[in-house]
Amino acid sequence: MSSHSADVGGAVEERRYAAVASGGAVTGPLMENAAAVGHSGDMASDNSMTAWQVERPGPMRTSPLVRVRIERPVPAPDEILVRVRACGVCRTDLHVTEGDLPPHRPRVVPGHEVVGEVVALGHEAGTEFSLGDRVGIAWLRTTCGVCKFCARGAENLCPDSRYTGWDEDGGYAEYATVPAAFAHRLPDGYTDSELAPMLCAGIIGYRSLVRAQLPPGGRLGIYGFGGSAHITAQVALAQGAEVHVMTRGEKARLLALGLGATSAQGATDRPPVPLDSAILFAPVGDLVLPALEALDRGGTLAIAGIHLSDIPPLDYKRHLFQEREVRSVSSNTRVDAKDFLAFIDGNRIEVTTPEYALADADRALTDLAEGSVSGAAVLLT
Ligand SMILES: [Zn+2]
Ligand SMILES: [Zn+2]
């Protein structure tokens, strides 16, 4: 789709939303107005932008997300302003939009896998970034910097941390801001679309792999095989791991084998060999039991998700004895992000990124909710 026709179509939709929101009827020559609004020159001069806001969190069928025109954000002194070129669609955006995560900011703009270009810098934003640089904005947005967790390098556990697309507006928009200290420099050799899912699915998957304590050359089990898992599997393979995938989808199993997994089987099936480590990506607590049972002595299971359905009772001997461990994963530190982005700079990672226009963000989230996205969906502005 050409970006121009997307702009025009989107502008029509915006006006309709604006009319509905104000209780008025949709009147007037929509196409003419839309063409005027949609022209990029006019956008630049009127300091407004298109964005999606969570108006009333709820199931996607209740249209919780509305498309609006709002003021372009102005960067605080320590922030940079980014013109969004791509924004990944993460399951956490769905949790924010549907209300599984409590709202932290009324009418928040979701999106925390932002790839864009620096177009303005606050006067205290430092010298790390310059106008025109390609940068990434991720989930972790600020931390206090002084608590005991921040002090010991565990800023992902900071009780005062704030998150992009939850506490502050994110990337389902044409522009977004971020504190310069929390923006990420991005490697060359990848498109904007390819980099977007790296900024959450990739980084969190990488931290999950670290939390799973996989020994060198060890056997890793991966439970669930969506956006994050298909990136993490490639990282593990590049590090010399033997990978076994447990997932219900036939297509996902074929993808796993194609990427180099040694085996792929059903979600609760026993892998052919005992595992040194496992990562649970599927948000399904029932799978904790078969995953723990599949671990070798001393093995570790890391649970990657921000949400997990209830875990059934464990049998000590079957699931935990012989020093098997189960651990959770909370967000990521900037060091994790740096390490991961450096890793993919040196090791080519393939990502499947079905693309949607920004105007279709609600459709992308609906597709994700219905499980019809294969790979990691990306919105393009
Ligand atoms: Zn802190
Ligand atoms: Zn995410």
Q: Where on the phi/psi map is residue 289: left (φ > 0), alpha (ψ -120 to 50), or beta?
A: alpha
Look up tokens 């504190």; give the residue: 179
DSSP code, position 172: S
Ligand 2 centroid to 50 CA: how many Å? 22
Q: Is the distance from CB of 121 to CB of 142 less than 8 angstroms?
A: no
Of 324 and 21, the one with more pLDDT? 324
Q: Is the distance from CB of 110 to CB of 148 less than 8 angstroms?
A: no
For residue 40, is it within any domain?
Answer: no
Ligand 1 centroid to 196 CA: how many Å? 26
* Same domain (yes/no): 99, 113: yes
DSSP 227-253: HHHHHHHHHHHHTT-EEEEE-S-HHHH
pLDDT of residue 45: 60
Q: How far is residue 365's CA from residue 147's CA, in Å, rounded to a whole number?
A: 36
pLDDT in tens, 136-188: 999 999 999 999 999 999 999 999 999 999 999 999 999 999 999 999 999 99
Q: How far is residue 42's CA from residue 87's CA, in Å, rounded to a whole number?
A: 23
pLDDT in tens, 253-279: 999 999 999 999 999 999 999 999 999
Q: How far is residue 145's CA from residue 138's CA, in Å, rounded to a whole number?
A: 18
Which ligand is closest to the CA of 196, given by its number? 2
Q: Residue 114: which of 134, 137, 91, 140 has the closest Cα? A: 137
Q: Is residue 133 packed enough to be buried (19+ CB in 10 Å), middle (13-18) or exposed (0-12)?
A: middle
Q: How far is residue 339's CA from residue 229's CA, in Å, rounded to a whole number?
A: 18
* Same domain (yes/no): 108, 218: no
DSSP 72-138: PP---TTEEEEEEEEEE--HHHHHHHHTSSPPSSTT------EEEEEEEE-TTS-SS--TT-EEEE-
CATH number at residue 150: 3.90.180.10
For residue 274, is it within any domain?
Answer: yes
Is pLDDT above 80 for 4?
no
* Same domain (yes/no): 275, 301: yes
* Same domain (yes/no): 215, 164: no
In 3-state terms the chain splits into helix, strand, coil percentages (rounded to 5) of 35, 25, 40
pLDDT of residue 375: 80
* Same domain (yes/no): 267, 376: no
Length of the chain: 381
Ligand 1 centroid to 139 CA: how many Å? 16
pTM of the predicted protein model: 0.85
Between 3-21 and 30-38, two packed helices, what is the crossing angle to 10 degrees?
120
Residue 210 parent element (H or E): helix 201-211
* Same domain (yes/no): 195, 207: no
Ligand 2 centroid to 87 CA: how many Å? 11
**Owning domain of residue 322:** 203-328
Ligand 1 centroid to 181 CA: how many Å? 14
* Same domain (yes/no): 159, 219: no
Residue ranges near ligand 1 (ion) with Cβ within 5 Å: 143-144, 147, 150, 158
Residue ranges near ligand 2 (ion) with Cβ within 5 Å: 90, 92, 200
Which ligand is closest to the CA of 148, given by its number? 1
pLDDT confidence band for 203 (50 / 70 / 90): very high
* Same domain (yes/no): 235, 314: yes
Which residues have CB under 8 Å from 88's CB, separation 6+?
111, 113, 114, 196, 197, 199, 200, 201, 353, 376, 377, 378, 379
Query: Range with the lowest mean pLDDT among 25-34, 187-196, 244-253, 329-338?
Result: 25-34
pLDDT of residue 371: 80
* Same domain (yes/no): 250, 284: yes
Structurally, the chain folds into a number of domains equal to 2
pLDDT of residue 226: 86
pLDDT in tens, 9-36: 333 333 333 333 333 333 333 333 333 3
For residue 363, is it within any domain?
Answer: no
Is pLDDT above 90 for 358?
yes
Q: What percentage of the chain carries pLDDT values higher than 90? A: 81
Alpha carbon 170 to chain centroid, angstroms: 11
For residue 191, is it within any domain?
Answer: yes
For residue 131, is it within any domain?
Answer: yes
Alpha carbon 258 to chain centroid, angstroms: 24
Q: How far is residue 49's CA from residue 70's CA, in Å, rounded to a whole number?
A: 6
| Mean pLDDT score across all residues of the chain | 89
Task: Identify each DSSP E strand in 281-354 by its residue range.
Answer: 295-303, 325-328
* Same domain (yes/no): 213, 299: yes
CATH number at residue 215: 3.40.50.720
Q: How far is residue 353's CA from residue 163's CA, in Å, rounded to a whole number?
A: 23
Is pLDDT above 90 for 370?
no
For residue 60, is it within any domain?
Answer: no
- pLDDT mean over 314-337: 96
Which ligand is closest to the CA of 197, given by its number? 2
* Same domain (yes/no): 128, 234: no
Ligand 1 centroid to 142 CA: how many Å? 9
* Same domain (yes/no): 181, 160: yes
For residue 194, is it within any domain?
Answer: yes
For residue 29, is it within any domain?
Answer: no
